[in-house]
Amino acid sequence: MLDASFVLHPAKADGDYRTESGQPKWLEGHIPGSIHVDIPTQFSDPGAPLHYTHTEPQAIADELARLGIREGRPVVVYDATGNLFAARLWYLLRWIGVPVRVLDGGFAAWQAAGERVEAGESEAPEPVPTWQASAVRKAWVSKSELLERDPDDPRPLVCGLPAGSFTGADPTRYSRRGRIPGSVNVSSRDLFTSDGHVKTRVELILAYDAAGIEVAEGSDEEVLLYCGGGISAAANALTLAAIGKKAVRIYDGSLEEWSADPSLPLEVGDPTS
């Protein structure tokens, strides 16, 4: 069981990018036997210019082996910071075929159920031999692919950020405010209840339907996802999978990459007005 807690603070002004390790929260209390992992350092490309850029499948497998997780071993992920980083880890592990699930409601649900909680450091896991890994599904869409995307492309491009970020009304962590032209908004945070559980199947379908996205179970049509840096979009992928829509890909660079290029267009304002 992996605890992916990590704090990404809301921007108070444009360019305000503040983060905080989730390990102190884990030390305060965690599910017995769980291991805290740090997505930015353990499951991202350390040489990439952008935050959270996915690393290669073998690097993910090597890190899992270091944590004592053998090939094919089922993994449960959770966090205590709003489900987004648990969703990101779920997406990465699912990409390489690890049997992985997310604890619905996260650590708060565990506590609410009255289950036992541990605090403080625990014994480090015993590493296991490294095992070979490769991608088992398409998971990523590139900036160049989005630039070449036809305006009549029927595949929806979904922004998973809150509405204020989508319209440009709220401050951004990134270079410029706005959204990628042609995208629609389904805020990933609105797909969870106030206590952190994934909303019902009907509620999820209605949320995507309101943005004009048909999510019929078993449909082969892709849904393309982005956000600020590939984290919120992973929660969209998680909720889509919960209703049977598995043909999704994430633009990993998202607005951090797109907004940094002044030649690329961004739209602001309410698209319905």
**DSSP-assigned beta bridge partners for residue 21:** 6
Q: Provide φ and ψ at 51, rounded to 5°.
A: -65, 145
Across 215-233, average pLDDT: 87
Per-residue pLDDT, averaged over 111-133, amounts to 95
Is pLDDT at 151 greater than 90 in this prediction? no
Q: What's the average model confidence in pLDDT over 85-101?
A: 98
Q: What's residue 217's pLDDT?
A: 64
Q: What digits encode the pLDDT tens for the residues 26-46? A: 999 999 999 999 999 999 999
Question: Does residue 121 carry a pLDDT above 80?
Answer: yes
Q: How does residue 238 score in pLDDT terms, banded at 50, 70 and 90?
A: very high
The CATH number given to 140-258 is 3.40.250.10
Neighbours of 184 (CB within 10 A): 16
Q: Which residue has the higher pLDDT, 122 or 167?
A: 167
CATH fold for the domain made of 2-112: Oxidized Rhodanese; domain 1 (3.40.250)
| Per-residue pLDDT at 166 exceeds 80 | yes
Domain(s) labelled CATH 3.40.250.10 in the chain stretch across 2-112, 140-258
The pTM score is 0.96
**pLDDT score for 219:** 67
Q: Is 251 a residue whose pLDDT tops 80?
A: yes
